[in-house]
Structure 1
Amino acid sequence: MGKAILNNKQALAGLALIAIVSIMAVLAPVMAPNDPNKIDVMSRFLAPSAQYPLGTDQLGRCVLSRLLYGAIYSLGIAVPTLFVLGGIGAALGTAAAYIGGRWERGFLVVCDIVMAFPSLVLMLALIGSLGQGLVSIVAATVSTMWAWFAKVVWSYASLEKGKDYIVASCIAGCSGWRIVFGHIMPNLLPQFAVYLSTGIAGFILMVSGLSFLGLGFEAGTPEWGAMLSEAKAHFFSHPTLVVYPGLCILLAAAGFNLFGEALRDILSPEEASE
């Protein structure tokens, strides 16, 4: 698979964007030229300079430093949360497909009930009840999105369960645990990796959207969506304050989407040709 990824221009473009955003997040404390939260009203709307490479915002804060720290919030929330959702979805979906019977029917009914409600509406309601902050965002996301991940895994696992090698493993006397963890789940990982990659892109957009609406983080947090919300009042006089965080959100989401779509084409070329 490694050679196929290296020979795919779309995958390389996606990886390059992911690498840029990841470097921003990891090295933000080192690369940031100034304190992202330092307010200096005497330095409002300064033009780019050696001290402030991208200028300052409406409160005199360094724009570049805030953009770099914004990558920490976007990736630092999106990636761990998606892995939690992936773990829950993989466990519940695979178990339901393998056990079958009443457990599977009950699982599908619960998933359908959760998925019947708009995820964004449920998330807004939960965050409004729990309050702003990281814990509220993660709790609201896991509570509203687990069914989508679990049902995707269930659909893959149901197809995998009916294959000949699973039947042969059952005849050979393999335990249920060995069949699930040794055969079914390893074969689901490539397809599920595609779903996770595009899911990270969607979650980055979701977190930024919540912050833009004032439901994500507390005021003043150096997060891209919050920066957009604060800068919208100055769009016509200082449009770069909107352009910079918007570009960061676009590039981060595009990187994971490009890589996920390329990975899908590599793993399932028959789907790409349709």
Structure 2
Amino acid sequence: MNLLARIRKSKQAKGLLLFILMVALVGIFAPFIAPNDPYETNLIMKFKPFSAAFPLGTDHLGRCILSRLIYGIRPTLFLSLLTMLGTIFLGAFMGIMAGYFKGWVDEVIMRIVDVMLSFPSQIMIFAVIALFGVNMINVILANVFIKWAWYARMIRTKVLQYREKDYILYSKCVGSSGGYILRKHLIPNISAELVVLATLDIGWAIINISTLSFLGLGVQAPMPEWGAMLSEAKNVMMTNPVQMFAPGIAIILMVSAFNMLGDVMRDVLDPKEVFE
């Protein structure tokens, strides 16, 4: 049973994927869905309560919180997905090279991995951003730079489990090239593990990007982003605590959805799993 067929048989996986897809579509069509301009300020309208015009009220600058929340999906979710794609690509490539070719290639890559994993990840991210400057490209590069080593080690372990299988040894015996073996045998066999690892860690990427924005090292004002919205809300936490609820709950829901999806995918893609 292929990967898509297994996913279709899981109601939990379909439900979580549907929720994430709906959120992503809301972000894509934000200009048509948001009730107000997320950048429009009006100090006379600040801290307005829930109403038909402002369903989640307004912030300290009189901006519509719901509109900013909807527009904030784009940097929060899509930058997290982009970060994860870059991390998976680099980590999987290095892990496959190390596990399949072994020898000096494995030694060089794994020593680099050991060095990368010996430093606290958040400190390294701050160092990269401080070195190259504060912008979203550097934030993505910093996250990829730190996280790829963990993926490389995980993927290498999986490759080592498969590279001595009979069908791969047979392919080598009949003269199949290394590229053919990687494309036809190794990569398809580790694709399930890649999906699970990526799904579980998108939540980490969301938290990381939101944290950097919260600290002023990620998305910069006035662009709406959930972490940046929380940072703005902390300044008025005592006078208007409601302002922090929307972005805080949004982050919790998205991270929880991806974490639960990762757990479900791990069960769904388990070769021993039997569906009724």
Deviation string, structure 1 residues 218-270 (Cα, Å, up to 9, x no partner): 23220000100110122233222111001111111111111111010122266
- Show the 5 A alignment for 1:50-69: 50-69=52-71
- Contact in 2 for aligned 1:90/1:149 (Cα 8 Å): yes
What is the match of residue 31 of structure 1? 33
- 1:159 corresponding residue in structure 2: 161
Aligned mates of 1:193, 1:2 — CA distance in 2: 11
Alpha-carbon distance between aligned partners in 2 of 1:206 and 1:163, rounded to the nearest angstrom: 38
Of 128, 131, 140, which aligns to 2:130? 128
Aligned partner of 1:113: which letter? Answer: V
Deviates more, 1:199-208 or 1:131-140: 131-140
5 Å-filtered alignment, 1:208-227, equals 208-227=210-229
Q: 2: distance between equivalents of 1:31 and 1:60?
A: 19
Q: 1:76 aligns with which of 78, 85, 97?
A: 78
Residue matched to 1:47? 49
- TM-score w.r.t. the length of structure 2 is 0.93
Q: Contact 2:6–2:269 at 8 Å: present in 1 too?
A: no
- Once the two structures are superposed, what CA deviation does each residue of 1:83-113 show, in whole Å capped at 9, x if it has no partner? 1221112221111111111111111111011
CA–CA separation in structure 1 for the residues paired with 2:81 and 2:217? 20
1-side partners of 2:27 and 2:223: how far apart? 15
Which one of 218, 233, 236 corresponds to residue 234 of structure 1? 236
| In 2: Cα distance, 1:236 partner to 1:245 partner | 17
Paired with 1:24 and 1:152, the residues of 2 have a C-alpha distance of 34
- Indicate the larger mover: 216-225 or 5-14: 5-14
Q: Contact conserved, 2:35 with 2:53, CA < 8 A, in 1?
A: yes
Q: Does 1:203 align with 2:183?
A: no
Once the two structures are overlaid, the 10-residue window that deviates more, 262-271 or 58-67, is 262-271
The letter for the 2-side match of 1:219 is: A
Aligned-partner residue type, residue 69 of structure 1: Y
| Counterpart amino acid of residue 47 in structure 2 | F
Rounded to whole Å, the distance in 1 between the matches of 2:164 and 2:121 is 32
Q: What amino acid is aligned across from residue 255 of structure 1 in structure 2? A: A
Measure how far apart 1:178 and its partner are.
Answer: 0.3
CA contact (8 A) 2:50 2:57 kept: yes
* AA of the residue aligned to 2:12: Q
Give identity over the alignment, percent: 37
| SS of equivalent to 1:234 | coil
**Residue from 250, 256, 266 that aligns with 1:264:** 266
Q: Given that residues 14 and 254 in structure 1 are in contact (C-alpha distance below 8 angstroms), is that contact kept between their aligned partners in structure 2?
A: no
Counterpart residue type for residue 56 of structure 1: T
| Correspondence list, 1:88-103, <5 A | 88-103=90-105
Q: Single out whichever of 194-203 and 80-89 deviates more from structure 2.
A: 80-89
Aligned length: 271
**Counterpart residue type for residue 40 of structure 1:** N
CA contact (8 A) 1:17 1:251 kept: no
Contact 2:54 2:66 in 1 (8 A): yes
Counterpart residue number, 1:253: 255
Q: Which runs of 5+ in 2 are unaligned?
A: none
C-alpha displacement of 1:2: 4.3
Deviations 1:131-151 (A, max 9, x none): 222111012112222211222
Q: Which residue of 2 aligns with 1:14?
A: 16
Give how far 1:73 is off: 0.5
Q: TM-score, normalised by structure 1?
A: 0.93
Q: CA deviation at 1:204?
A: 0.3
Which amino acid letter does the alignment assign opposite residue 110 of structure 1?
I
CA RMSD for the aligned pairs? 1.7
- For 2:233, give the aligned amino acid: A
Equivalent pair of 1:212/1:228 in contact (CA under 8 Å):
yes
